[in-house]
Structure 1
Amino acid sequence: MMMADQGGPIGRADVLRIACLEDDPMQSTLLQEWLQGAGYVCRAFAAADAFIRELRQESYDLLIMDWELPQSSGLEVLGWVRNELDWNIPVLFLTHRDSEQDIVEALELGADDFLSKPISQPIALARVRALARRNARISGRRGVLELGHFRLERESKTLLYQGEDRGLTEKEFQLAWILFCNVGRLLSRDHLLETVWGVGPGLMTRTVDTHMSRLRRKLGLLPENGWRLKAVYHQGYRLEQLSTGI
């Protein structure tokens, strides 16, 4: 299935994908409703093993996890995330614990913020927005982005290489924008389809691969030019900068 290369606001590439680990069904449903109502994509998991399986094959912009779980602890899952995934991915901890020792332990193990239960909608959403702003990948998705000889101008949807407009279509620019905002990070096909094309996960289509091939050619994303746009089998794509200033 091919999708037309048109339509869709550039703002789709700012959609935040959130994975939530919460074993309380009512709390999980409530969090999903709040986050989706605020315009985020949120997928919820009740067990640590299902959460970890998802993170092995899908990419997310922010994680929310409960401390106390039936078969594992949030701290154990946090340890796995920090050892196995991109350290920079923000993690918001939800817990009934609020002692100074507990807060210090979670933060030192890699949590970015700490929210004590019961949680309120305004505070939870404010914490999510704050983490998004602090995350370099998200805050970099505004205005102008410069890497090496590349310059991406968000408002005009223009990508320049050494001052020359590379003539990207709107979808090609959206895809280039999210790739350059996430240099070195593996992005799943579902992540790209959801944030660039606005379609749900699991769609069988070659459109991502087709657009990646075009970008590789139009932008010269090749090792001899200091860049590599790498396809990771059954997972997605990663843009790698092999040398600086190129």
Structure 2
Amino acid sequence: MTVIAARSAHCGGAAARQFDTVVDLIRHMLHSEAIDLVVVDADTHLDAVARLSAWKASQGREDFAVLVVAQLLRPERMAHALESGCDDIVAGAFNIDEFDARAARCLARLGAGATRALRLEIAGYVLDRHTQSVTLDGASLPLNELDFKLAWLFFLNPGVLIGRPRIAAEIGQASVADIGATLGKHMHRLRARLKIEKGGAVGLRAVYSAGYRLEVDDDDRRSRCRQRSGLPYAIPEALSCDAAM
């Protein structure tokens, strides 16, 4: 953790943060801005991989990768980690250069997966990236190009807090300062054009001073995720795990 944090700070990357339990990590991912990479120390907490992967599948989360580090991982346990859902492994004596290379590869695959997605179906909404069209229960919704870009961003990451800087970049603004007070107007228009109503199956919630999050009714989310993954819907029990982001 110390080496990873030092390299991240030296390169000007995102700050690494340590979590003591899977539950602490999940709470962060539910209420804080989106993350890209979770690192699990499998020498002591290999079970964290399966527990985190089960939660990831149950929530339909495709927005982060899981990288395992381990000095003493036997081949059969490496296979178990991969079967449990980790994206890659740094095995043997820890080498920060190898870690950087594997982490970058995990993030590249994550980005490629998001780019390949062409159609999203959530709670009666169907978004088609090829035609840049959105329908709700079969009825077409009148979105312009900017509306569709924002809708795609949120529907691709349901339950994930999308920060104001990322929204500003999506809209084509260099910074949050450039978008200023117009951000609220963009979101108000998007809700109206998507026919998002209070108490409905889908909500677009403002998180004060942070950004916005698309919230989907739990029943719809669980149904979709069970069909896709076959994994149980369960929040993992508390356990100790070293995870850096």
Q: TM-score, normalised by structure 1?
A: 0.56
The answer to whether 1:145 aligns with 2:119 is yes
1:198-217 equivalences under 5 Å are 207-217=182-192
Q: Which has the higher helix share?
A: 2
Task: Write the deviation string for residues 55-95 of structure 1: whole angstroms up to 9, x where unpaired.
Answer: 353243532315179xxx55476577457664644311233
Report what 1:129 is aligned to.
Answer: 108
Change (3 A) 1:114 1:199: farther
Once superposed, what is the RMSD of the aligned Cα atoms?
Answer: 4.6
Report what 1:10 is aligned to.
Answer: none
Distance 1:81 1:59 in 2: 18
Change (3 A) 1:221 1:96: same
Matched position secondary structure for 2:2: coil
Q: Which residue identity lines up with residue 30 of structure 1 in the other structure?
A: R
How far 1:48 moved relative to its partner?
Answer: 2.1
Report what 2:144 is aligned to.
Answer: 168
How far 1:23 moved relative to its partner?
Answer: 2.6
Report what 1:14 is aligned to.
Answer: none
Percent identity over the alignment is 15
How far 1:103 moved relative to its partner?
Answer: 1.8
Change (3 A) 1:216 1:232: closer
Task: Write the deviation string for residues 181-236 of structure 1: whole angstroms up to 9, x where unpaired.
Answer: 23x42324447436525667999955544322211111213479x75224265573
Matched position secondary structure for 2:196: coil
1:95-244 equivalences under 5 Å are 95-107=70-82, 110-116=85-91, 117-118=94-95, 119-120=97-98, 121-133=100-112, 135=113, 138-141=114-117, 144-147=118-121, 148=124, 150-153=126-129, 158-161=132-135, 164=140, 166-168=142-144, 170=146, 172-182=147-157, 184-190=158-164, 192-193=166-167, 196-197=170-171, 207-222=182-197, 227-231=201-205, 234=208, 236-240=212-216
Larger RCO of the pair (alpha carbons < 8 Å, separation 6+) = 2
Change (3 A) 1:47 1:99: same
Q: TM-score, normalised by structure 2?
A: 0.57
Stretches of structure 1 lacking an aligned partner (at least 5 in a row): 1-21, 37-41
Distance 2:71 2:119 in 1: 40
Check the 8 A contact 2:68/2:88 in 1, yes or no. Answer: yes
Report what 2:19 is aligned to.
Answer: 48
Distance 1:192 1:221 in 2: 22
Distance 2:20 2:182 in 1: 31
Change (3 A) 1:164 1:218: same
